[in-house]
Amino acid sequence: MAENQSPLAQFEIKTLVPIDLGSIDASFTNSSAFMVLSVLLATVFLVGGMRKSAMVPGRWQSMAELSYVFIANLIRDTVGTEGAKYFPFIFTLFMFVLFCNLLGMIPYTFTVTSQIIVTFALAALVFIGVTIIGIIRHGFKFLTFFVPSGVPVVLLVILVPIEVISYFVRPISLSVRLFANMLAGHTLLKVFGGFVVSLGIYLGWLPLGFIVVLTGLEFLVAFLQAYVFAILSCLYLNDALHLHH
């Protein structure tokens, strides 16, 4: 297989504008370009949709309003009324991940969320922010989060380390989930694209039909993973605010 035909070649990061800050390579890459593009598109989508803000919304305006109401309901259902304060953060997170995922579905574009460092940075932001919120709100009582209530003391010796580990694994599972979904989906599409070419004009239609189905599934996954990212951030926020025991 040639170098640029590998299914993983699409995830390669290319430097567009080299910027060197001492020992740190802060170049403007195709990844940064698509991040900027998705932020711009999300801004245009929301600001443009609400520009006229008519009493009876048109198509564009109702799409913008729907996305707002969707996340507002999500936060009300999972965190409760106290979560309204954190709405801007969750909404931004959701829109950013959603637009990055959807932009990646256009052929020959770069999928920002298929880079684990991007998703890990987002997940670490959620994790650290939520932990700080929990500590500010509850002080030392926050540590009771790791001690399940109504458990014999003997069992606590085993359970507390498990709770601590499962808490610190959260950013990893949150980031790997989004990253792996994007990576696997795009690799799969590319692999089946290779089948179309290698099977030729008679048998190539079979994988082509499969690609159509997979593309539909990938659009679903692109939306679903943004939703899962948002809902899990909300659940973590709920744990920190209410200390679920």
Partner 1 sequence: MELEAAKMIGAGLATIALAGVGVGIGNIFGSYVSGSLRNPAAAPKVFGNVLLGFALTEAVALFALVIALIILFV
Q: Which of 111, 115, 181, 238 binds partner 1 (CB under 8 A)?
A: 181
| Binding residues for partner 1, total number by CB under 8 A | 14
Per CB under 8 A, which region of 23-31, 45-53, 191-199, 223-231 contacts partner 1?
Answer: 223-231
* Smallest distance from partner 1 to CB 177, Å: 4
Amino acid symbol at 177: R
Q: What are phi and psi of 20, to 5 degrees?
A: -120, 115
Q: Are 218 and 34 in contact (CB under 8 A)?
A: no
Q: Which is nearer to partner 1, 184 or 197 (CB)?
A: 184
Query: Quick check: 227 binds partner 1 (CB under 8 A)?
Result: yes
The residue assigned the tokens 């403007």 is: 28
Q: Which is nearer to partner 1, 164 or 184 (CB)?
A: 184
Kindly report the CA angle at 39 between 36 and 40, in degrees rounded to 5? 85
In 3-state terms the chain splits into helix, strand, coil percentages (rounded to 5) of: 80, 5, 20
Amino acid symbol at 178: L
Query: Quick check: 176 binds partner 1 (CB under 8 A)?
Result: yes
Per-residue tokens: 90: 């969750």
First to last CA, the chain: 55
The residue assigned the tokens 């567009």 is: 16
* Smallest distance from partner 1 to CB 101, Å: 12
Q: Which is nearer to partner 1, 105 or 199 (CB)?
A: 105
Q: Which of 28, 128, 224, 245 binds partner 1 (CB under 8 A)?
A: 224
Query: Quick check: 105 binds partner 1 (CB under 8 A)?
Result: no
Q: Which of 63, 133, 156, 180 binds partner 1 (CB under 8 A)?
A: 180
Indicate the pairing of strand 28-29 with strand 15-17. antiparallel
Q: Which is nearer to partner 1, 115 or 181 (CB)?
A: 181
- What is the C-alpha separation between 33 and 16, in angstroms, rounded? 9
* Smallest distance from partner 1 to CB 58, Å: 26
- Chain residues binding partner 1 by CB under 8 A are 173, 176-177, 179-181, 183-184, 221, 224-225, 227-228, 231
